[in-house]
């Protein structure tokens, strides 16, 4: 008797024919896109600026600061409350104050009370709260004063630290509100410039779009075996079930949150300061600290390029511009990779098959399952592997704008590409200087190297003829302007973006999901005698199944024959019914009632009332009947 197994003896770690982990690729369209900006300072000769741009020494804002810093701390705090203009870009703070005040207006008093604890405002209420926080009855008294508290003031106290701002103003520093990548506001403090320093910066608006790539099995998390007939209980604990690990494992690719956004921005700021030598305060002081025409996202810092302001240019000017861009793009890509790698390191999944007591935190959950090996002679092995998700990110140049600033708030200007000539005429001495700087900028934007090292033009010249449809005799005027190249798109992996792709990076992230493969052991745990007993048992079961199938077959045939007879009788009945219906139809067409009765009797009786020679259903002549 053949005692070989009915299962092929495959290698233990083999999951498919080629020994590779299964990979799925559905080319899903899901993507996440984040904005960032790169400030590139154009080096323009001092003599090209109008005299007032670098000789300015007076400023309405800095004059107000000089007056306020003479006050004591309380006087400065009162000034902050009455004059929002002391904080540059106060609208950013005001937006968040209004937003959170709207959210707080619908919450419970207890939540508002907790909000009070987190701020330094409302000292009398907080002192009373600290004194009685363990006394439930007196806490109710503290809650009773909450209706008199202005919710907006509570939120404002959270965003605006009057004491800190007063301290900085007393030192002559300018508070500038900026919006972080996480959408949270932040206040930077900029010193008064010693002299006017005119700076024209090209603002490169970048986007990083991340798409889903392959999806498949990754590293082995756990393996264990069950002996024949053995059963066990396993627990699976994901990093998402632990609140601390969950927060640490979040990243901007697949689990954007306020904490992950802040972590990425902190990483970018450290990398930018290390590479460019400019802190975020220094970048703000050179660019005016404003948003350059919209929500900028991540700030990649400030880099200056050479060129001396001349339009003639040397062979190093274009490469210097492109190297500056690539430096800041590399900072962004490297920071994102570091941020993602740090989050990925926290994405551990635990599979526990040990026999021990399990202690679970209040905010932690586990999945519990029972596994049984129903085989009688083979070990059953389980392999748990964590599933991985690939992301590929495209960083591309989406738009360009320009910022001018000389250190005094009144000088701030920001324009789009088409308005650059007007800005240059406002700050430069003459049209020759305007053409020099303008052509310098155009030469940079006409040769931007993409991720493959191929130069591409970001801009194009558009000519328009403006004719007079009312007075056609007036000659048409031809004008031109420069804009982003219409229809500018580049593709990677069938994904199209509306700009020049500067970098492509593939990243693989661990997910909270597991894939389990059950592999049957190759060794038999039974000797020949027990194998033969099992074979006999299998044969008996097969014979029993065959007997049941035979009985079912016989019963089925009987049912089939009975069904056939029923179908035949039904067919005969239908034919008789059709014949009678046809006869009745013919009779109904006869007008003579006597004739109708005779015909009706011929159809529904055996004999006629009067002996007939023919045409009746029977014959009353006995001889003929014989």
Percent of the chain's residues with pLDDT above 90: 12
The closest alpha carbon to 96, from 182, 164, 15, belongs to 182
Q: Name the residue with tokens 């801009």.
A: 459
Q: How confident is the model at residue 424 (pLDDT cuts 50, 70, 90)?
A: very high
Residue-averaged pLDDT of the chain = 74
Phi-psi region of 52 (alpha: psi -120 to 50; beta: other; left: phi over 0): alpha
Give the model confidence (pLDDT) of 308-358 as tens digits. 434 444 444 444 788 888 888 888 888 888 777 777 666 666 666 654 434
Give the model confidence (pLDDT) of 374-397 as tens digits. 888 888 888 888 888 888 989 999
- How far apart (Å, rounded) are the C-alpha atoms in residues 84 and 568? 100
Q: How confident is the model at residue 163 (pLDDT cuts 50, 70, 90)?
A: confident
User: Residue 37, exposed/middle/buried by CB under 10 A (0-12, 13-18, 19+)?
Assistant: buried
- pLDDT of amino acid 250: 67
Percent of the chain's residues with pLDDT above 70: 69
- pLDDT of amino acid 556: 74
CA of residue 321 relative to chain centroid, distance? 33
Q: Name the residue with tokens 């789009």.
A: 416
Give the model confidence (pLDDT) of 575-624 as tens digits. 878 877 777 777 777 777 777 777 777 776 655 455 544 444 444 444 44
Which is more confident, 13 or 406? 406
Phi-psi region of 578 (alpha: psi -120 to 50; beta: other; left: phi over 0): alpha
- How far apart (Å, rounded) are the C-alpha atoms in residues 513 and 239? 10
Q: Name the residue with tokens 């389990």.
A: 516
- pLDDT of amino acid 318: 46
Pairing state between β 31-42 and 298-305: parallel
Q: How confident is the model at residue 364 (pLDDT cuts 50, 70, 90)?
A: very low
The closest alpha carbon to 503, from 149, 36, 9, belongs to 36
- pLDDT of amino acid 13: 45
Residue 334 CB partners (closer than 8 Å, separation 6+): 271
Instruction: Tell me the chain's radius of gyration from C-alpha atoms.
Output: 44
Give the model confidence (pLDDT) of 217-268 as tens digits. 888 888 888 888 888 888 877 655 554 555 555 666 766 666 777 777 777 7
Give the model confidence (pLDDT) of 44-61 as tens digits. 888 999 988 888 777 888
């Amino acid at each position: 008797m053949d005692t070989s197994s009915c299962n092929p003896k495959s290698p233990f770690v083999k999951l498919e024919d080629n020994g590779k982990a299964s990979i799925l690729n559905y080319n899903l369209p899901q993507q996440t896109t984040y904005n960032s900006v790169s400030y590139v300072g154009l080096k323009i000769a001092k003599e090209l600026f109008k005299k007032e741009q670098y000789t300015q020494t007076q400023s309405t804002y800095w004059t107000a600061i000089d007056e306020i810093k003479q006050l004591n701390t309380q006087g400065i705090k009162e000034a902050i409350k009455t004059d929002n203009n002391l904080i540059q870009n106060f609208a950013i703070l005001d937006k968040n104050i209004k937003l959170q005040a709207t959210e707080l207006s619908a919450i419970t008093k207890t939540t508002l009370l907790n909000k009070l604890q987190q701020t330094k405002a409302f000292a009398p209420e907080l002192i009373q709260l600290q004194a009685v926080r363990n006394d439930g009855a007196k806490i109710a008294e503290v809650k009773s004063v909450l209706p008199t508290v202005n919710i907006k003031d509570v939120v404002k106290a959270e965003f605006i630290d009057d004491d800190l701002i007063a301290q900085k103003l007393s030192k002559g520093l300018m508070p500038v509100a900026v919006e972080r990548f996480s959408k949270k506001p932040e206040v930077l403090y900029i010193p008064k410039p010693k002299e006017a320093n005119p700076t024209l910066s090209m603002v490169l608006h970048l986007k990083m779009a991340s798409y889903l790539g392959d999806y498949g099995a990754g590293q082995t998390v756990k393996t264990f075996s069950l002996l024949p007939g053995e059963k066990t209980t396993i627990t699976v604990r994901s990093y998402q079930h632990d609140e601390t690990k969950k927060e640490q494992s979040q990243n901007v690719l697949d689990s954007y949150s306020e904490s992950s956004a802040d972590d990425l921005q902190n990483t970018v700021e450290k990398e930018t300061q290390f590479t460019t030598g400019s802190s975020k305060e220094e970048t703000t002081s050179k660019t005016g600290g404003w948003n350059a025409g919209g929500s900028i996202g991540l700030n990649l810092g400030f880099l200056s390029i050479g060129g001396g302001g001349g339009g003639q240019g040397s062979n190093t000017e274009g490469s210097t511009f492109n190297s500056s861009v690539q430096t800041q793009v590399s900072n962004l890509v490297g920071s994102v990779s570091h941020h993602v790698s740090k989050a990925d390191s926290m994405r551990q999944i635990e599979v526990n098959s040990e026999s021990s007591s399990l202690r679970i935190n209040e905010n932690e959950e586990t999945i519990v399952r029972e596994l049984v090996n129903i085989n009688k002679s083979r070990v059953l092995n389980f392999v748990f592997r964590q599933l991985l998700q690939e992301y590929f990110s495209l960083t591309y140049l989406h738009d360009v704008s320009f910022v001018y600033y000389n250190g005094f708030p009144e000088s701030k200007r920001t324009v789009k590409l088409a308005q650059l000539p007007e800005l240059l005429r406002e700050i430069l001495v003459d049209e020759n200087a305007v053409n020099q700087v303008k052509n310098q900028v155009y030469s940079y934007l006409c040769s931007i190297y993409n991720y493959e090292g191929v130069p591409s033009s970001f801009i194009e010249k558009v000519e328009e003829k403006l004719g007079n449809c009312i007075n056609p005799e007036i000659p048409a005027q031809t004008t031109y302007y420069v804009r982003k190249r219409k229809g500018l798109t580049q593709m990677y992996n069938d994904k199209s973006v509306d700009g020049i792709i500067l970098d492509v990076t593939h990243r693989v992230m661990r997910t909270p999901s597991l894939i389990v493969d059950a592999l049957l052991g190759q060794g038999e745990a039974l000797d020949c005698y027990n194998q033969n007993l099992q074979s006999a048992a299998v044969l008996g079961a097969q014979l029993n199944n065959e007997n049941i199938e035979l009985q079912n077959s016989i019963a089925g045939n009987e049912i089939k024959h009975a069904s056939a007879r029923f179908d035949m009788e039904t067919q005969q009945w239908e034919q008789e019914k059709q014949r009678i219906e046809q006869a009745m139809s013919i009779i109904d067409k006869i007008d003579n009632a006597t004739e109708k009765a005779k015909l009706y009797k011929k159809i529904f009786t055996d004999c006629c009332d009067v002996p007939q020679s023919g045409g009746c259903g029977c014959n009353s002549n006995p001889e003929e009947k014989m």
